[in-house]
Amino acid sequence: MSRRVVLGASALLAAATIVLGVMRAFSAAWLSDDSFISFRYAQQLVHGNGLVYNAGERVEAYTNLLWTLLLAAAMRIGIRPEISAHVLGLGFWLALIGLLALASYRRDLSFAPLAAALVLLMEDYQTWATGGLETSMFAFLSVAGLLLASASPARPSRMLLAGLLLLAAPGTRPDGVIFAAVAGAGVWLVNQNASLRARLALAAALAAPLILGGAVLAAFKLLCRRSTLTTRKGCSMSIFPSRRTGSSALSSSG
């Protein structure tokens, strides 16, 4: 069997698998109850009230800042969050699959994209791709940052970009700091053949955006709300209708 036939058959199989995975994700499309919290904050921001749940009450009840800002940007140009959340979730999920397939291709000539196939076909990934939350975005940013931080040959420019991606991860979800810490340790341990000076340069390139960005994020939180530790539960729900219950999730003051 010629190489061209094998490649053609592999491409058809990959295409069919992608179509199957995307169809299953679409068929399971839903919105988590928690996603309406982000929708509400995005709505208030677009209306000029700031990142608040109710106008005049500076309370932080979300944990996905960058995701909420993306939803707000989509709302600003007229796209409803129920739609933008699905589109963004599916987009980041497919981007993660492509990223893993590319990493497999570059690291192994036999090219068996097992990680990409698992992310494509696992029910949990398909389900949360349309759950309305930041899950797919967070996974993409974390994996992209870790892959770049572990890329060979290691270069400061790559570490800088990895640092930016790993900064965006905790900006999307707080537990992203774990992946940033893993990347920092990995850069030091993986490049043991490099000189001490080179390893310090790589570590500094990775740490610089994390430290500076973390300081900016902390300042942003302090400026936008009275306390970075306050979390309020039981607020009025969002004005957006819930597809799961078919009822209005709201009506709230402000």
Residues 135-170 pLDDT 10s: 999 999 999 999 999 988 899 999 999 999 999 999
In a domain, 153, yes or no: yes
Residue 166 backbone dihedrals phi, psi, to 5 degrees: -75, -20
Instruction: Judge whether 145 and 47 are in contact, CB under 8 Å.
Output: no
15-47 pLDDT, tens digit per residue, is 888 899 999 999 989 999 999 999 999 999 999
Distance, in Å, from the CA atom of 228 to the CA atom of 148, rounded to the nearest integer, reads 31
Instruction: Look up residue 90 and give its amino acid.
Output: L
Percent of the chain residues past pLDDT 90, beyond the cut:
64
Asked if pLDDT for residue 210 goes beyond 80, the answer is yes
Residue 68 backbone dihedrals phi, psi, to 5 degrees: -65, -40
Instruction: Judge whether 25 and 90 are in contact, CB under 8 Å.
Output: yes
The pTM for the full model equals 0.85
Q: What is the mean pLDDT of the chain?
A: 85
Domain coverage including residue 127: 16-224
In a domain, 194, yes or no: yes
In a domain, 235, yes or no: no
DSSP reduced 3-state for 10: helix
Interhelix angle 176-190/156-172, rounded to 10 degrees, is: 160
Instruction: Judge whether 44 and 50 are in contact, CB under 8 Å.
Output: yes
Q: Count CA atoms within 13 Å of residue 51 on its CB side.
A: 23
Q: Tell me the CA distances in angstroms from 172 to 64, 119, 166, one per residue in order.
A: 5, 20, 10
Region of residue 241 (phi > 0: left; psi between -120 and 50: alpha; otherwise: beta): beta
Q: Tell me the CA distances in angstroms from 239 to 79, 242, 253, one per residue in order.
A: 15, 9, 10
Residue 139 token pair: 């996974």
pLDDT class for 235, splitting at 50, 70, 90? very low
49-106 pLDDT, tens digit per residue, is 999 999 988 888 899 999 999 999 999 999 999 999 999 999 999 999 999 999 988 8
Domain count, the chain: 1
In a domain, 191, yes or no: yes
Residue 74 token pair: 């989509």
In a domain, 234, yes or no: no
Distance, in Å, from the CA atom of 99 to the CA atom of 102, rounded to the nearest integer, reads 5
In a domain, 11, yes or no: no
DSSP reduced 3-state for 248: strand
In a domain, 250, yes or no: no
In a domain, 87, yes or no: yes
Instruction: Judge whether 135 and 89 are in contact, CB under 8 Å.
Output: yes
